[in-house]
Structure 1
Amino acid sequence: MSTGTVDGSSESAVAVSELAAEKALALMDSEGMDRDIGGLRLFVQQGGCAGLSYGMRFDDEPEDDDTITVHHGLRVFVDPASLDYIGGSRLEYEDGLQAAGFHVENPNVVSECGCGESFRT
């Protein structure tokens, strides 16, 4: 059973900056995805030097038990197990000279690896 769609203001949800939403929506558009049904899946998986790592992909539709939030027109899907690790996080997009891409700012992290790709809570 789906936990439903929330506006993204819940402290347990994942927030998304306006720039990150714009970049993700542009990528969805370039892949011909339906913004009204599909969205960005943010998840946590085992791996990396610190034990856990972030994952992102586009999904055509949410799973039944996903928490679905909407930020600046972007639907974000998070499964219950991942939400335990990343609830309260913020997805940002960095566009700099050395790197460009999505970055998760997670207040639950107690340590990260040097590259910022994996973490421990």
Structure 2
Amino acid sequence: MSLTLPPRVTDRAFARLAEIAEDTGEVKALRVAVEGGGCSGFQYDIRLDEPASDDTVLEKDGMKVLIDAVSLPFLANAVIDFSEELIGARFVIENPNASSSCGCGTSFSM
């Protein structure tokens, strides 16, 4: 049985959060949540937010990534990264728990 670990946030994702804070003049945490819906059954909800009491907080250099208790099992051992490609720059989730995902990368099934 594999060990269940909280997701890992890359240095690139934390660096992008720091850039956003610098651009907007306010430090906000990045919330990564899993919700029902999307074309594959589940979808990611990634947005700037304030911490809640039951969040798991991943922190580096004052930047925070928040995961609520319901979403945490879906994101076990995942990697939260920031990607800059021709189609645009965005936060991306590399999730080993997803058995399939859609082309846009925001929806998955387990």
- TM-score bracket, shorter-length normalisation: 0.7 to 0.9
What is the CA–CA distance in structure 1 between the aligned matches of 2:23 and 2:89, rounded to whole Å? 18
What is the CA–CA distance in structure 2 between the aligned matches of 1:33 and 1:22, rounded to whole Å? 15
Structure 1 runs of 4+ off > 3 angstroms?
none
Amino acid aligned to 1:91: I
Number of equivalent positions: 108
**Aligned position for 1:12:** 5
User: What's the CA shift for 1:26?
Assistant: 1.0
User: What's the CA shift for 1:73?
Assistant: 4.0
2:56 aligned to which of 67, 78, 91: 67
Give TM-score, length-normalised by structure 2: 0.85
Q: Deviations over 1:21-40 (max 9, x none)?
A: 11122112322223xxx411
**Aligned position for 2:88:** 99
Q: Deviations over 1:73-106 (max 9, x none)?
A: 4211110110010121111111123432211000
RMSD over equivalenced CA pairs, Å: 1.9
**Aligned position for 2:33:** 43
Give TM-score, length-normalised by structure 1: 0.78
Of 97-106 and 45-54, the range deviating more from structure 2: 97-106
